[in-house]
Structure 1
Amino acid sequence: MAAPDGMAARDALTQLSNLVTLTSYEAGTYESGGQRFEKIVRFATVDCVKAGWMLKHKGTWFVTPAGTQAYKELDDAELFYKSAVKLYRQWKLAQQNGLTNTADDVVENVTEAEVENDAEKETSFTYEQAEEQAWAEIEYYLRTMNPFDFQDLVADLLKAMGHYVSWISPPGKDGGVDILAYTDPLGTRPPRIKVQVKRVAQKVTSDTLRSFVSLIGNGDVGLFVSTGGFTRDAEELARMQETRRITLIDMSKLIDLWIEFYGKLEDTARRRLPLTPIYFLTP
């Protein structure tokens, strides 16, 4: 709840483990590897997701308004968890039987064995771990990429999207624009696309974005790409523009676009960020 923009699952698990004293059972490990505590917690979050109290996206966990309300109303920890389990089981029975409502006594007692031996939760557990690892590795790869290679990666993406890149900033001062692109090979048709690229860890602020906006003319489109994302003030500034067209592209959006246009990338471009799809049965 203290992270309205979401929190990486690995960070949430680390913070939680530092807040509680694990029993010897929870601190134990499975024969196949992995700490029992993490699996118990991840299984419990499945209940919260089906209850509508949490959302998960690309390895990031979010608390919904309904989750915040449940946290306020159910001030007993055991009651809170049992309520989530009850809503999960109601959802599961509805999926199995085509029911919309089930009895109030869907859950009375939740045993450790039940928590750790739910086939559907096991699938979710495997899927989430794979997704989190994949996104973490891609993000780390991009964040540690040479800044000029990253700039070229963005230019390659624009080409794959059907734009014509006329200029990429060489090392040195660029005047606030890293890439120029057009919608036709000769650059005779508007709009002209001005791109600023920042491979940074911190979020871009409204002040930084405002400097870029000042470079965008009425016949231009401005694209600001930032691996660190944007502050809420910066996002609001982009939305409030009336005459200047500004599009913000964060890490998640950039990777989504790279995947979407991967088949249209040149071979040399693909080698900048080579990806292979692996298909899971989605939980």
Structure 2
Amino acid sequence: MAKSKSQKIAEKTIFAAFNILKEAGGEMLGKDVIEKIRETVTFDEYENDRLEKTGNIRWESVLRFFTIDCMKAGYLRKNKGIWILTDEGETAIKLGQENLLKTATELYREWDGNRKKQITKEGVAEKDITEENTHQAQEAIISQYEEQAYNGIRNFVISKNPYEFQDLVAGLLKAMGYFISEIAQRGPDGGIDIIAFTDALGTKQPRIIVQVKHKPNDNISSDEVQKLAGTLKRNTDVGIFVTSGTFSKPAIKEARDSREHIELIDFNRFTSLWQEYYSKMNDEQKNLLPLHPIYFLGSNE
């Protein structure tokens, strides 16, 4: 049977995405993966055409649609805009461009079971990939919207200066029920940006020492975690390290092995906590990073 145009597009874009993720160390923002594909893969006029109803580029829509196969096959994971290549996915690269997608699709069909309607992927992708006529298409749409939402929040936070990000962290801690005793002003802070307690007068233990780093494109090193540990002078002190970026693996190990309790909050965890405690914030706190929840029909899978 001759391959459909959508299948050919999916084969080369999925294969390219997997290799890009592998070269990046296994994970990357989905929008950056797509941009890298745009820079490295050649597309013809049909593949670069915009779908009439959505305005999306055809090859991008096909790629997102078929990433659901890869996720159900265990080759790929998505978490708040980040695409993560699993060990199984990295191994699947060895299958080659054609067999990688074929295997992923077979595993997806096994997971999906008997469909109520026999709709081919060609039919969905060629007509309108945004139509909610299959569970797979719906998942692809929701995944895309989640990525867009995540990227919007990330860009908003990136635009803040270090002191504004510090205020965001303080606002979150207040919403979580902590009492802020001190917030560092401009100038040397001795490695302490925020001091918080579990009671209004600070008479109860522990004292919470917070280090805040606004480094959205960087990994926090183990040395920086060690410096935070050095600021915990009391036996009952607890350290929290918050970054708008990520933590290196040595930094995570340093916090885990530290004699003192040090909690790490990277950007993903920060946004999750902000969403979780958003309803408990006052208007002033909400305005620091305003959100608007939207609910989609889910599934029982």
**TM-score when normalising by structure 1:** 0.88
Q: Which blocks of at least 5 consecutive residues in structure 2 are unaligned?
A: 1-21
CA contact (8 A) 1:127 1:282 kept: no
Change in Cα spacing, 1:178 to 1:249, as seen in structure 2 (3 Å) is same
1:44–1:115 contact (8 Å) kept in structure 2: no
Deviation at 1:176, TM superposition (A): 0.8
Give the equivalent residue in structure 2 for 1:150: 165
* Match status 1:193 vs 2:198: no
Show the counterpart of 1:21: 42
**Counterpart mapping for 1:192-271 below 5 A:** 192-201=207-216, 202-217=218-233, 218-241=235-258, 243-271=259-287
Question: Counterparts of 1:204 and 1:238 in 2: how far apart (Å)?
Answer: 11
Inter-partner Cα distance in structure 1 for 2:60 and 2:167: 39
Asked if 1 retains the 8 angstrom alpha-carbon contact of 2:181 and 2:196, the reply is yes
RMSD: 2.1
1:119 CA displacement: 2.5
Identity, in percent, stands at 41
Structure 1 unaligned runs (5+)? 98-105
Corresponding letter in the other structure for 2:106 = K
Query: Cα distance, 1:96 vs. partner?
Result: 6.3
Find the counterpart in structure 2 of residue 79 from structure 1: 99
Name the aligned partner's letter for residue 297 of structure 2: L
Shift of 1:114: 5.2
**How far apart are 1:121 and its partner, in Å?**
3.0
In structure 1, how many angstroms separate the alpha carbons of the residues matched to 2:134 and 2:167? 45
Partner of residue 291 from structure 2, selected from 265, 275, 278:
275
Amino acid at match of 1:145: K
Task: Tell me the SS of whatever aligns to 2:46.
Answer: helix
- Shift, 1:48, TM fit: 0.8
Is residue 4–residue 62 contact of structure 1 (8 Å, CA) maintained in 2? no
Alignment check: 8 A CA contact 2:26 2:84 kept: yes
Q: Distance in 2 between matches of 1:140 and 1:13?
A: 17
Scaled by the length of structure 2, the TM-score of the pair is: 0.83
Number of residue pairs matched? Answer: 269
**Does structure 1 residue 89 correspond to structure 2 residue 109?**
yes
- Correspondence 1:113 to 2:128: no
Mapped partners of 2:86, 2:298: distance in 1: 22
Per-residue deviation at 1:24? 2.5
Structure 1 runs of 4+ off > 4 angstroms? 94-97, 114-118
Residue 113 of structure 1, CA deviation: 3.2
1:4 to partner: Cα distance: 3.8
Separation in structure 1 between the aligned mates of residue 57 and residue 200 of structure 2, nearest angstrom: 56
